[in-house]
Each structure stands twice: as structure tokens, then as C-alpha cells.
Amino acid sequence: MTFSIAAQVGDAFGVAVASKFPFVGAVVPQARLGVGAVATQAMARVSYRDTALEALAGGADAAGAVAACTGPDEGREHRQLGVVGVDSQATYTGSACMDWAGGVSGREASGGFAIQGNILTGRDVVAAMERAWRASAGGSLTDRLLAALLAGDEAGGDSRGRQGAALYAVKPGAGYDACGVLADLRVDDHPQAPQELARLLKINDLLFGVAEEVLPLTGDLADEVARRLASVGHDKGGDVGAALEAWASEANYEMRMSSDGIDTKVLAALREESS
């Protein structure tokens, strides 16, 4: 019913998943800081998530984490599981999973990945996801997870259609108030769920990402920013810095604020709002 990727980029771990199944984000993905990421699907057993992560935290490799889940489970042949740890990865597909079902796992310099799917249009879905993951090397974890998911969707995805999608990722110090959550996004019921997930990720990155490319607020740029801020009701008597801070707080962009100037993504958002 589902295709997913669990993966690692450095100290970041996460899962992206899509399915003709609503609320898939409540069932499939989990990740833990410093430990790894897990995707449980097919006749999903939600307890696999905690079991696998506890096994990894206790020193098992990904194959050992899979064994800890499937070994005592009489229904294991109906399950599918992807596990990525700090230095290992594994994917499991039970023999009774509905066609087409299978997966692939591997490792590159930045970390491991495990891709799996069931009731897919064919093996091309998993192959397309792996190609997209490898082709996006050098990008952020969330961008790469999304690229792989969209590639799988474009290759055919779930043979029954689209409905739910989710992306969950963690990284030390990331996210709002440095809570460690890079993204926690769910599309519970949408006819184009993977594309809707892509839209939400852009918003997530804008609100919860940190300042990247910062331009100094001087000269013509300072004049433009002051003019645009005034047009949306933020004029602090010529104090462009104070006006920018007030607008950014109102728009929820405070995490991208910098004392050195204005982040290019914040600038783009201001230009769009004031156009």
C-alpha cells in the first residue's frame, strides 16, 4: 500500500512516505536523534518503530533491528520494514506482501538509505527512488527525501493511486527552538499527496530553517526593503532593521532573522507579499 525511504545524511535521519492510504504519517515513519530512522508498512506493525529504534540504541546494527522486529512476529511475512542506523541499513519485505513488493538498501559517504514499497506499479518505482536519492547527493536530508519520493510517484508509485504522504526528519539543534525536528509534515487526505507534501516542505523550510544567504541591508536594498515593509504596514520611522524585525515576527520568519542583514528567502517572501 506504500512506498517509502528511510535515510541518513550525516547526523540527520528521516523518512518520507506516500500511499493510497490516509493518515499514513501516523503509521509509517519514525526517527530518533543520534539513533536512526524506521519505516514500517504493508500490514504495518506500529510497534516495529520503537522496537527497531531501541535495538539500534542498544548497539544492534540495522539487520539486527529488523530481526528484533520480525523474529518474534508470526505475521512477519505480511510486513515490510526499512531501517537506517548510524553505520548500517537494511530493508525487509515479507513473502506474503502484495505485488509488486520489494526494496533496496545501500550506503554512500553521507550515510545509509533503505527504500521499500508494496502494491506498486512495478520495481521501477524503487529503482527511480534510488536513482533520485543518489543523484541528489550534497543536498539536505529533507530535500533528498522529497526528491526520492517524487521520483517514485512519477514512476508509478502506489498502483491504487494517491491519498496520503508524510515526511519526518530529525537533526541535532534543528527546528523550532532547536528542538531537533527538521520536519514533521503530514498530508492525510489529498488527491495529489506527494505534490502537496512538497508544497508544505517549502513552507516548513522558510519558517523553521536558519538564515542561509544573508544580504547586508545597505544602499538600494535597504531602500527597497524599507519601501516594501511600509507598504505592508511596517514603518518604524526609517529604522529598517526594527521594521524588518516587526514584520518577520508577525509573519513567523523569526528563525531566519540575522543581525548581518536579510536572508534571501525572507527577502523573496517580502517581495511576494508586497508585490
- What are the residue ranges spanned by the domains of the chain? 2-208, 214-274
Q: What pLDDT was estimated at residue 146?
A: 98
How confident is residue 138, by pLDDT bands cut at 50, 70 and 90?
Answer: very high
Helical packing angle, 141-154 and 124-135, nearest 10°? 150
Q: Which of 124, 74, 112, 113 is nearest to 96 (CA)?
A: 74
What does the radius of gyration of the chain's CA atoms come to, in whole angstroms? 21
DSSP 131: H
Rounded to whole angstroms, the Cα distance separating 125 from 151 reads 8
Decide: 27 and 156 in contact? Cβ < 8 Å.
no
Mean pLDDT of 28-45: 98
Could you report the per-residue pLDDT of 85-134, keeping only the tens digit for each? Answer: 999 999 999 999 999 999 999 999 999 999 999 999 999 999 999 999 99
Q: What pLDDT was estimated at residue 38?
A: 98
How confident is residue 210, by pLDDT bands cut at 50, 70 and 90?
Answer: confident
Q: How many C-beta neighbours within 10 Å does residue 23 have?
A: 15
Which stretch of 16-20, 26-30, 209-213 has the lowest confidence by average pLDDT? 209-213
How confident is residue 1, by pLDDT bands cut at 50, 70 and 90?
Answer: low
Rounded to whole angstroms, the Cα distance separating 123 from 267 reads 43
Q: What pLDDT was estimated at residue 4?
A: 98
What three-state secondary structure class fits 211?
coil
Rounded to whole angstroms, the Cα distance separating 236 from 225 reads 12
Largest CA distance in the chain: 71
Query: How high is the mean pLDDT of the chain?
Result: 96
Could you report the per-residue pLDDT of 52-96, keeping only the tens digit for each? Answer: 999 999 999 999 999 999 999 999 999 999 999 999 999 999 999
Mean pLDDT of 132-161: 97
Options 3.40.800.20, 3.40.50.1820, 3.30.70.980, 3.60.20.10; CATH of 2-208: 3.60.20.10
Could you report the per-residue pLDDT of 172-206, keeping only the tens digit for each? Answer: 999 998 999 999 999 999 999 999 999 999 999 99
Q: How many C-beta neighbours within 10 Å does residue 47 have?
A: 11
Q: What pLDDT was estimated at residue 189?
A: 98
Residue 222: pLDDT above 80?
Answer: yes
Rounded to whole angstroms, the Cα distance separating 190 from 3 reads 16
